Amino acid sequence: MSTTTGQLTAMLNSIPVRPVMGAENTARLLEMLGECSITCEICADACLAEDMVADLGRCITLDLHCAETCDAIAHVIARMSEADTDLLRSGLQHCAEVCRACATECEAHASMMEHCRRCAETCRRCLHACREASGKL
């Protein structure tokens, strides 16, 4: 368990409303969403610095969509007192789809840009984490 996951788990265990997915699973998911969001932000910024930036518009847009979607669903998850499993399931499924689209686009550039390869890998991991979590609700 990473330090971040441990801290989030402790925080989730300290609140009066228990996470529907359990504290440790929720903490791992929040950490994955955060990692994906930051990775996509870094990739978008790196794409802007590439010589072929004009060819990377879709990649940049999807990176930003993915980062914002991961952030948004993480905020929904963090609001335990308003837990709505149907809303959460729908949000996780949407997040998985955005991660899939971003990963697919980044994979198209992965052979030329290491940051796109790494972003695609992270998006795939987040996609699987979101799908797994939505299936447990």
Q: Which residue has the higher pLDDT, 126 or 85?
A: 126
Domain boundaries, the chain: 3-135
Query: pLDDT per residue over 39-54, tens digit each?
Result: 999 999 999 999 999 9
pLDDT-wise least confident of 1-5, 54-58, 91-95, 131-135: 1-5
What class does CATH assign to 3-135? mainly alpha
The model carries a pTM of 0.94
Identify whether the C-beta of residue 8 lies closer than 8 Å to the C-beta of residue 30: yes
